[in-house]
Amino acid sequence: MNKYITAYYLDEGKLLKGVKQIKSKGVKIKDVLSPFPVHGLDKALGLRRSRLARVAFAGGAIGAIAGFGFQTWVFTSAYPINFGGKPYFSAPSFIPVTFETTVLFSAFSMVFAFLIASKLLPGENPVILDERVTDDHFLVVIELDEESTEESIKEIEKALKEAGAEGIIIKA
Amino acid sequence: MENITFTLTKKIVTICIIMVSIGLLALVYGLIAGLGGERISANILLNNYYFLGMGLIGLFFVAVHAIAESGWQVSVQRIGEAMSTFIPIAGILMLLFFVFGGLHSIYDWTHPEHIDEILAKKAPYLNEPFFYIRLIIYFAIWSLLSFYIRKTSRELDNQKDIRYFHKLRKLSAIFIVTYAITSVTSAWDWLMSLDAHWFSTLYGWYIFMSMLASGVSMIIIILYLLKRMGYMTHVNNEHIHDLGKYLFGFSLFWAYLWFSQYMLIWYANIPEETIYFSERLDHFKPIFMANIIVNLAIPLLLLMTRDAKRAFWMLIPVAITVFIGHWIDLYQIIMPGAVGGEKAGIGFLEIGLTIGYLGLFFLVVFYSLSKSPLVPKNHPFYNESQDYHTNY
């Protein structure tokens, strides 16, 4: 993303109204960066639902099978030990470890899926559009492409101003 | 215009009264058919405890959210308050039941000839006078606090004064602290002492979680019934989603505690502890297995996705399953100790009596709902609950 327009809001209520107004003008919003989750923003932006839950389920399922399978292999064939006369295959005693591996695998798969999806893996160069979004500013980002002319940029700027956005920065 | 006052129609009252008469019929049938005093007593205890739990969870629901100052529950708060009106009624029924023979027919420790060395050591706690004193203390605390919490909540709505909001929080805190203790000791008194020789330190939490899961399922069912009758239009998918999350989460936590208790006893393999499970596995195996499948597998698999938690067509069948499931849970807790494998069973007595209690419970809840507006419009968090939005 080389060419873009950013503008910020200081209040999440105004942001929510502004986003709706900008969208109604036919301007495509690339993203909104906010210091905390804003209720209703996902709907206003028309974002798709996160697919992180599916990753978590897949990771958890793999973790459960791996944990249970590993213990079954260890305690029945690789290194069977007799614990207090219990059978080698004692499912109840495998459950706690299976539970932990389920949680571990699903958590790790979610973390890595998130890092990959948001390009935050080590070695990536994250673009910092405005440092104030980590504090108290809500940043609206609009992407420009090769076809956007000066006129269209002016129109976007006008729409932003009408929607109450402040500090408009154009990088074209 | 939203319909905010619930009117108790003749139809509801008639249905409830028919249900109560089925219950009474079942009781009469039990007496005539000679099913034995133990089985009848155990069934009354089961249902009384189960629906008392519903009432307590209604109050717990209100109290815990008042302390946390959460916003979304304001839209369904009245259901919890209405459920808590059942507490004093369950208390009176419980006291009558114990006084008129219930205590002696199913509790072994009340018979002097059954007192052995172990029970003699437990006697300072498990004796009849102290049992009754505790019972009265429990119900006095619960009924009074439920009365004052309801009253404060109504005052908050009428007077628009923030002082009542703080008072509600204070009362709720008192309830949570006392309930943390009394829920455990009451579970020892009424349920664990059925197997007087056996003990488990995890028991109180396990019973409480069973109550919580079934109580949340009841809140969902009542919400659905009200919505079907055209009320509660202000409750949207977001609120239903959160109730679904509760049902899902508490069902899992119930299973966690069930397994914690089971696995420790299974692993240690000490006869005085394993007798509890060997009795259930020998004589109540189908019920014992159904308990885990119905209360863990069904909520876990069916409510896992977001869409399932948000839609009544999926949530209601699961809520009804969990409601039946925790009845089964209580059945396998009570019956082996109180009645024993030979005499216990599930027949018209069990099902009819449960229907009767359900009718009584609904009658009380719907009557209470009609007494105050369904929507606490003046609650400080009312607008927050209307703007509420859950992402995932």
Q: Please list the residue range(s) of chain A that carry CATH number 3.30.70.
A: 4-48+126-171
Does residue B133 have a pLDDT over 70?
yes
* Dist. CA A91–CA B254, nearest whole Å: 19
Does residue B227 have a pLDDT over 70?
yes
- Which pLDDT tens digit goes with each residue over B20-73? 999 999 999 998 988 888 899 999 999 999 999 999 999 999 999 999 988 888
Note the pLDDT of residue B1: 44
- Which pLDDT tens digit goes with each residue over A6-57? 888 888 888 888 888 888 887 888 888 888 888 888 888 888 888 888 999 9
Does residue A1 have a pLDDT over 80?
no
When the pLDDT of each residue in chain A is averaged and rounded to a whole number, the result is 87
Q: Does residue B271 sit at the A interface (CB-CB below 8 Å)?
A: no
Does residue B351 have a pLDDT over 90?
yes
Residue B237 tokens read as 């998918």
- The residue-averaged pLDDT of B255-281 equals 92
8 Å CB contact between B171 and B149? yes
Note the pLDDT of residue B343: 82
Alpha helical stretches, state H, A81-169:
91-117, 150-162
* Dist. CA B235–CA B153, nearest whole Å: 19
Q: Does residue B389 sit at the A interface (CB-CB below 8 Å)?
A: yes
* Dist. CA B210–CA B333, nearest whole Å: 11
B242 Cβ partners below 8 Å, 6+ apart?
Answer: B72, B73, B390
Q: Does residue B392 sit at the A interface (CB-CB below 8 Å)?
A: yes
User: Considering only alpha carbons, which residue of chain B is nearest residue A91?
Assistant: B263
8 Å CB contact between A157 and A168? yes
Question: What Å distances lie between residue A130 and A6, A33, A82, CA to CA?
Answer: 9, 9, 62
Which string of DSSP letters, residue by residue, matches B281-348?
A: HHH-HHHHHHHHIIIIIHHHHHS-SHHHHH-HHHHHHHHHHHHHHHHHHHHHHHHHHHT-TTT---SH
Q: Which residues of A touch B (CB under 8 A)?
A: 37, 39-40, 42-43, 49-50, 53, 57, 84, 86, 92-93, 95-96
Burial A116-136 (b: 16+ CB within 10 A, else e): eeeeeeeeeeeeebbeebeee
- Supply φ then ψ for residue A8, to 5 degrees: -120, 160
Does residue B2 have a pLDDT over 70?
no
- The residue-averaged pLDDT of A122-151 equals 81
Of B267, B387, B392, the CB nearest to A93: B267
Note the pLDDT of residue A145: 78
Which string of DSSP letters, residue by residue, matches A2-21?
A: -SEEEEEES-HHHHHHHHHH
* DSSP label of B248: H
Q: Does residue B127 sit at the A interface (CB-CB below 8 Å)?
A: no
Does residue B391 have a pLDDT over 70?
no
Residue B27 tokens read as 């009781």
Inter-chain residue contact B267 with A49, CB threshold 8 Å:
no
Q: How far is B306 from chain A (nearest CA, A)?
A: 9
Note the pLDDT of residue A15: 87
Q: How far is B314 from chain A (nearest CA, A)?
A: 19
Mean pLDDT lowest among A64-68, A102-106, B293-297: B293-297
Q: Report how many Cβ contacts below 8 Å link chain A to chain B.
A: 27
Note the pLDDT of residue A137: 87
Inter-chain residue contact A37 with B391, CB threshold 8 Å:
yes
Burial B271-306 (b: 16+ CB within 10 A, else e): eebeebbebbeebbeebbebbbebbbebbeebbeeb
Is this complex's ipTM strictly greater than 0.90? no
* Dist. CA A110–CA A107, nearest whole Å: 5
Note the pLDDT of residue B115: 87
* DSSP label of A50: P
Higher pLDDT, B3 or B21: B21
Q: How far is A82 from chain B (nearest CA, A)?
A: 13
The residue whose two tokens read 């302390």 is B67
Mean pLDDT lowest among A26-40, B162-176, B205-219, B246-260: A26-40
Instruction: Write A10-17 long-range contacts (CB < 8 A, 24+).
Output: A10/A136, A10/A137, A10/A138, A10/A166, A11/A138, A12/A38, A12/A41, A12/A138, A14/A164, A15/A41, A15/A138, A15/A140, A16/A40, A16/A41, A16/A44, A17/A163, A17/A164
User: What are the residue boundaries of the structural domains of chain B, listed by start?
Assistant: 10-242+343-376
A100 Cβ partners below 8 Å, 6+ apart?
Answer: A67
The residues with which A166 forms a beta bridge, in sequence order, are A8
Does residue B91 have a pLDDT over 90?
yes
- The residue-averaged pLDDT of A104-114 equals 95
Q: How far is A6 from chain B (nearest CA, A)?
A: 25
Does residue B142 have a pLDDT over 70?
yes
Residue B367 tokens read as 């009557």
Residues counted in chain B? 392
The residue whose two tokens read 């209604």 is B58
- Under the banding of pLDDT at 50, 70 and 90, the label for residue B162 is confident
Note the pLDDT of residue B132: 94
- The residue-averaged pLDDT of B283-291 equals 92
* Dist. CA B358–CA B368, nearest whole Å: 15
Record: fold of A4-48+126-171: Alpha-Beta Plaits (3.30.70)
Question: What Å distances lie between residue A158 and A18, A166, B121, CA to CA?
Answer: 13, 12, 84
Residue B312 tokens read as 């009544």
Higher pLDDT, B255 or A157: B255
Q: Does residue B282 sit at the A interface (CB-CB below 8 Å)?
A: no
Note the pLDDT of residue B356: 96
The residue whose two tokens read 């300072």 is B124
Note the pLDDT of residue B296: 93
Judged on CB neighbours under 10 Å (0-12, 13-18, 19+), A28 is: exposed
8 Å CB contact between B382 and B239? no
- The residue-averaged pLDDT of B124-130 equals 91
